[in-house]
Structure 1
Amino acid sequence: MNSTKQNPVARILTITILLIWTAAVLYPLIWTLLGALKDNQQFLLKKPWALPEFPLLWSNFSYVWDKYGFSGYFINSTVVTAASTFLSILLAATTAYILARFASGVSRVLYYLYLSAMMIPMILGLVPLFFLLNDLGLINKLPGLIIVYTASVLPFGIFVLVGFFKTLPKELEEAASIDGAGHYKTFFAVMLPLARSGLIAVGIMNALTIWNEYIMGTVFINDPSKYTLPVGIAVMQAEMQYRTEWGPLFAGLLLSMIPVIVLYIVFQRQIAEGVTAGAVK
């Protein structure tokens, strides 16, 4: 009997679970898309989960984009997410490489200090962070938000990348040293490209966290022209007051999800490689 052959019952059970999981993930996305193509009458007078009627209201997307300023929110979120993700990856990679390769008592203390930072909810630091940014003149400015977001996701990146760099063979560094490469060239030309899948995985996780963050964006930014998408959606719903426009609201939600979905589709292979890196030598 071939021991590697999968049990038919286990195979059917696995496929069934995966199909159920896929349906659970896709259903909210599909329902959001269908809701974005309806008007209020279809929501209130008919079943809200029914299919939209023709003609489909694609105009809800342009309505949200223009009337509620989603173009500005989208640009702000893109700038903040891109800058924070880039800075967090750069700082996490350099720090993780040093902690992984130059082991000492100080490096271990720093590593556990970064780990302890992951256990502290960011919301506990809102008040001191607000006064700090206010003293630095960074309240209501996107650079202030970028600094806070970079610091908030940095411990996670260091935690993941330290373990990743430890799995890379030291012989590569020795070979680069023999060829005359210094520490900087060895890191940027040899080790960093090898850590690409880990960097992408950390970058995607950080980007998702920053893109969907709401509380700090509300506290540190009070200028409507600098709102990010999560804050903009909340403001849009508040502006609707007693008559919620469900179609445009769903359209706004879908617009905020599209970049995340595209990002995952493009980098799904690298994400899987980064998550499983180091599991098998």
Structure 2
Amino acid sequence: MKRSVGQILGRTGIRIPLILWTIAVLYPIFWMFIGSFKSNAEIYRNPWGFPETWNFQNFVDAWTNYNIDTSVFNSLLVTLIGAVLTLVLAIPTAYAIERINFRGSKVLFTVYVSAMMIPMVLGWIPLFFLLSDLNLLDNIFGLAIVYAVSQLPFSIFVLTSFMSTIPKSLEESAAMDGITPYGTLWKIITPLTMSGIITVTIMNAIQFWNEYFMALIFLQSQENYTLALAIDYISNEAQYSNAWGTLFAGLVIAIVPVIILYAIFQRRIAKGMTEGAIKG
């Protein structure tokens, strides 16, 4: 009996802080969601309650008057290009470091891992001048290249962990059958590390979709704004025009795709990170 009471108290002591933390995280999102369907007058009159009438005009205003449609397209484009480019660069690099014996492979891997510890803010000024010299400043493709390079260390670190779990006998058998190293990489190694590739792609895509500071520095024209910059623009406008409902609607448009994406692939992400942590 004492043991069962102790177990109940122990579980309760763990669950209560988790429940409180969940409420603290979800309530602002819930408040933002219901605020996106209110008029400005109703937001001031009843900020914490449900809307009297569910008004979709805020979404229309955000989509048309503040060019959220263009910003969504820009964010989709930079996220897609950045995620694909990261994989194109990270998969062969991770394979070379993990599976090909050459002098300096361990040093190179250490350099990539160490790069994860360097704050990205230290590279913003040099990158600004570099993109300016390459005529890629205020360019969606230039921003996508910066995103891809910034996530290379993390992607290589995760993918090398997955590749280390694949038996080398498979590569030896493929070599005996006449398959080239490139064929081994794309026909054998890549399919077997698909869980890691999906995990890396999703986490990078979420990072690119939500990124703000580099987009703020490297993009200057409003027609090139990503969604994060468009939300910031609406936020500044809301201070003078009281367009709080429009701001909430823009925030909902920004976070709903991320929530849906993570909800769909949550188990795969957790499984991928767990498998990647097991070597041998």
1:240 to 238, 241, 249: 238
Deviation (angstroms), 1:22: 4.2
Partners of 1:171 and 1:148 in 2: how far apart? 37
Amino acid at match of 1:115: V
Amino acid at match of 1:36: S
Unmatched 5+ stretches in structure 1? 1-6
Q: Across the two proteins, how many residue pairs are aligned to each other?
A: 274
Partners of 1:57 and 1:20 in 2: how far apart? 31
Deviation (angstroms), 1:25: 4.0
**Structure 1 runs, 4 residues or longer, greater than 6 Å off:** none
2:105 to 104, 107, 114: 107
Per the alignment, do residues 278 and 27 of structure 1 end up closer, same or farther by CA in structure 2, a change over 3 Å counting? Answer: same
Partner of 1:3: none
Partner of 1:186: 184
Deviation (angstroms), 1:243: 3.1
Partner of 1:4: none
Give secondary structure in 1 for the equivalent of 2:53: coil
Deviation (angstroms), 1:200: 1.2
2:138·2:224 contact (CA, 8 Å) conserved in 1? yes
Equivalences for residues 208-223 of structure 1 within 5 A: 208-223=206-221
For residues 135-161 of structure 1, the C-alpha deviation after alignment (integer angstroms, 9 at most, x for no partner) is: 111111111111111111111111111
Matched, 1:177 2:165: no
Partners of 1:251 and 1:144 in 2: how far apart? 29
Partners of 2:82 and 2:200 in 1: how far apart? 12
Give secondary structure in 1 for the equivalent of 2:79: helix
Per the alignment, do residues 245 and 269 of structure 1 end up closer, same or farther by CA in structure 2, a change over 3 Å counting? Answer: same
Partner of 2:202: 204
Partner of 2:44: 44
1:198·1:273 contact (CA, 8 Å) conserved in 2? no
2:148 to 147, 150, 169: 150
Q: CA RMSD in A?
A: 2.0
Per the alignment, do residues 53 and 258 of structure 1 end up closer, same or farther by CA in structure 2, a change over 3 Å counting? Answer: closer
Percent of paired sites with the same residue: 44
Instruction: Tell me which moved more, 24-33 or 96-105.
Output: 24-33
Deviation (angstroms), 1:17: 5.5
Unmatched 5+ stretches in structure 2? 1-6
Amino acid at match of 1:28: P
Amino acid at match of 2:258: V
Partner of 1:33: 33
Instruction: Tell me which moved more, 14-23 or 209-218.
Output: 14-23
Deviation (angstroms), 1:276: 0.2
Partners of 2:268 and 2:87 in 1: how far apart? 15
Partner of 2:166: 168
TM-score by length of 2: 0.90
Amino acid at match of 1:44: Y
Amino acid at match of 1:35: G
Partners of 2:16 and 2:167 in 1: how far apart? 40
Partners of 2:56 and 2:173 in 1: how far apart? 59
Partners of 1:23 and 1:215 in 2: how far apart? 29
Per the alignment, do residues 191 and 20 of structure 1 end up closer, same or farther by CA in structure 2, a change over 3 Å counting? Answer: farther
TM-score by length of 1: 0.90
For residues 178-198 of structure 1, the C-alpha deviation after alignment (integer angstroms, 9 at most, x for no partner) is: 222111111111111111111
Partner of 1:121: 119
Deviation (angstroms), 1:176: 1.9
Deviation (angstroms), 1:70: 0.1
Equivalences for residues 5-84 of structure 1 within 5 A: 10=10, 16=16, 19-46=19-46, 48=47, 50-84=48-82
Partners of 1:62 and 1:34 in 2: how far apart? 16
Matched, 1:135 2:143: no
Amino acid at match of 1:238: N
2:155·2:200 contact (CA, 8 Å) conserved in 1? yes
Partners of 1:236 and 1:12 in 2: how far apart? 43
Give secondary structure in 1 for the equivalent of 2:118: coil
Give secondary structure in 2 for the equivalent of 1:56: coil
Amino acid at match of 2:45: L
1:85·1:150 contact (CA, 8 Å) conserved in 2? yes
Partners of 1:20 and 1:53 in 2: how far apart? 25
Deviation (angstroms), 1:18: 5.2
